[in-house]
Amino acid sequence: MSTTEPNRAESAVVARALTKTYGTGAATVHALAGVDVAIASGEFTAIMGPSGSGKSTLMHLLAGLDEPTSGDVWLAGKWLSQISDKEATLLRRERVGFVFQSFNLLPMYTALQNILLPLELAGTKPDQDWLDQLVALLHIEDRLTHLPSELSGGQQQRVAIARALITRPDVIFADEPTGNLDSRSGSEVLSFLRTSVRELGRTVIMVTHDPIAAAHASRVLLIADGRIAGEIENPTPEAISTSLDMLRTDEVA
């Protein structure tokens, strides 16, 4: 395992020779086949690539939600292989926010209770101004007393985003956060994520299939077959679409 600090002291997240293998024998899947990447603190990074290329697997490993088969992850100033499970739990709870493809809202809790859950776990009180800001921005003011089963998919997604941001995490991981939203809510969420980076100094790492969504980021990482296949600085939707087309062509070839 790695013992030295990453070269880029300003890196929020670093992956070194990261691999993840699922299954055994004939059913073996190399979801990640050796990923080296450094994500700068205070940047908005998008991760793109074909379905099954390893994007969600990479996000789970970078966020410390799952363990790699080999390699190591540097997150919020620590190599995850070198800290205890308890330390890792605290680090995730206090420094990291997640918005994932499945919303994972607790069905017996109201929207508001779901949003406040991370604070409850940490034993801290909500900052009412921040809660009000999040709820207004995400347009869920009149849904706070509802159960998840009484909310649309898009509303559940917005509750999950508020829950991810309520602790004001340093690093926010978002796996297709706008996948279930209409275009207006989607672009509001994206501009909110961008504001979190530009004005609040957060680090955002987002998986998306949408070139227009990815163009909100300052850097796009392309992933194919479990490896980093390229990157685009200051991306435009056109540059992203061209690169994705080339990845697909490579796959067919």
Ligand X SMILES: Nc1ncnc2c1ncn2[C@@H]1O[C@H](COP(=O)(O)OP(=O)(O)OP(=O)(O)O)[C@@H](O)[C@H]1O
CA atoms of 35 and 31, how far apart (whole Å): 11
- Rule CB under 6 A: say whether 106 interacts with ligand X: no
Judged by beta carbon, residue 10 or residue 66, the one nearer ligand X is 66
Q: In the 3-class helix/strand/coil scheme, how is 38-88 assigned residue by residue?
A: EEECCCEEEEECCCCCCHHHHHHHHCCCCCCCEEEEEECCEEHHHCCHHHH
- Rule CB under 6 A: say whether 53 interacts with ligand X: yes
The binder of ligand X chosen from 5, 8, 10, 22 (CB under 6 A): 22
The binder of Mg ion chosen from 41, 56, 81, 241 (CB under 5 A): 56
Judged by beta carbon, residue 61 or residue 197, the one nearer ligand X is 61
The binder of ligand X chosen from 55, 92, 158, 216 (CB under 6 A): 55
- Compute CA distances 120 → 126, 162, 208, 220, 246, whole Å: 9, 14, 30, 35, 47
- Rule CB under 6 A: say whether 248 interacts with ligand X: no
Quick one: what does residue 22 bind among Mg ion, ligand X, none, with the CB cut-off 5 to 8 Å set by partner type?
Answer: ligand X
CA atoms of 191 and 46, how far apart (whole Å): 14
The length of the chain in residues reads 253
What residue ranges bind ligand X (CB under 6 A)?
22-23, 29, 31, 49, 51-57
What residue ranges bind Mg ion (CB under 5 A)?
56
